Structure 1
């Protein structure tokens, strides 16, 4: 029971911090409790703890709360020393510069993909997401790419185990069809989704390894523009993949 309470408290703390990003302004204790669906007494304890640690402060007589910059300072210090991103960032930035599309870097975490980096495209109409967002393996191009890195038997076992909800009308929900698609994509060296996770978004990806960590990198944008520039985008993704592989070879050679 104590372990479950600790997990619940951790989840509530994260919910509390994230609600400010959505609200984009100070909130009262009652507003916070309502937005994170938590009893006001529990919310009060969380706020008091965060206030004592310097992560939030009380603004005025209405007792509205807002985060301090301590959270930003801690997050920035963590991000600056990410063992993967500090090595891969220049290649990702160049990929976004050359294509103008949103660049996604992701890693499989058991039955889903977590975005480690998102560099938004320069077009007015573009795909948007955030680092830390999670996506299903079966309906995201990086999910398929990371499944493609697995041994066939392990991949089949994973696809058998995970749920395959229909995210959009285009989502592949048949296990045999999904395995066949991933096998075909692995053989040709790239993966794609067309409206499978978001109806009007297309993404193409490649997979690679850095220090034995399996990763996927993708370009994502509106289906019409991605289709029009497909050959150029895929060629540029392949160049990035080669750069990642060269980087990995240099690390392993040390």
Structure 2
């Protein structure tokens, strides 16, 4: 039986079309030849997909170069609107960023990965590789670990078995036993910390937002390791993050 994702039928065709969209999204723009070379498939096949996607307004073609159409803006907005807190989280992020002077993120879990959905920068906030809608493994940063710590044991096991524990930096937790021990510590203290496990020379503090046993996401404050250390990293930032998360939880619960 042909693989459904790569088969020659409708499902395989749909999969190729979506892969083409992802290639163009990653490259920001690309020619037919660039997409074909990147995917390793015939130019004629890519041409047919590109033509259809342009006709449906998912792609825009200018001088032989393809980019995403703004139709995705509507789709993205509508997808985000289905996420709890998406319409109320921004003021909390901005206030926490102003209080700490650092970069603040709101992230949620979807299909075992972290999705970045909200962002605010303080006066000293640093730029990183993260972006709205971006995805990353859960095990390699404070926000992801904060979420994992509040999921069921079966769900954590499923995520580990599905995605593994890839090494992102030399500090990333790659042992299942070590991660489970870390998650227990996070549950006990109420917040998670990241010691350059995703990006070298950076640290972060995060706490999960849990309402009626449902994990709605996590708030994370991150910055350079030389600023996030000592009492500030061990006490001040955790208290600020947990205070914000508690306020969000209460307002959502009784709104």
* Normalised TM-score (structure 1): 0.80
Moved more, 8-17 or 179-188: 8-17
Where does residue 232 of structure 1 map in the other structure? 236
Asked if 1:45 corresponds to 2:48, the answer is yes
What is the 5 A alignment of 1:1-254? Answer: 1=7, 2=9, 4-6=11-13, 8-21=15-28, 23=29, 27-60=30-63, 63-76=64-77, 78-79=79-80, 82-123=83-124, 125-151=126-152, 153-154=153-154, 157-158=157-158, 161=161, 163-210=164-211, 213-214=214-215, 215-227=217-229, 229-230=232-233, 231-251=235-255
Moved more, 65-74 or 90-99: 65-74
Alignment length (residue pairs): 244
The 3 A distance-change label for structure 1 pair 219 and 150 is same
Kindly provide the CA deviation profile for residues 156-192 of structure 1, in whole angstroms up to 9, marking residues without a partner as x.
7447635222222112222222222211121111111
Contact 1:102–1:127 (Cα < 8 Å) also in 2: no
Runs of 5+ consecutive residues of structure 2 not aligned to the other structure: 1-6
Counterpart-to-counterpart distance in 2, 1:157 and 1:73: 35
Contact 2:36–2:46 (Cα < 8 Å) also in 1: yes
* Normalised TM-score (structure 2): 0.80
Contact 2:106–2:117 (Cα < 8 Å) also in 1: yes
Cα RMSD, aligned residues only? 2.9
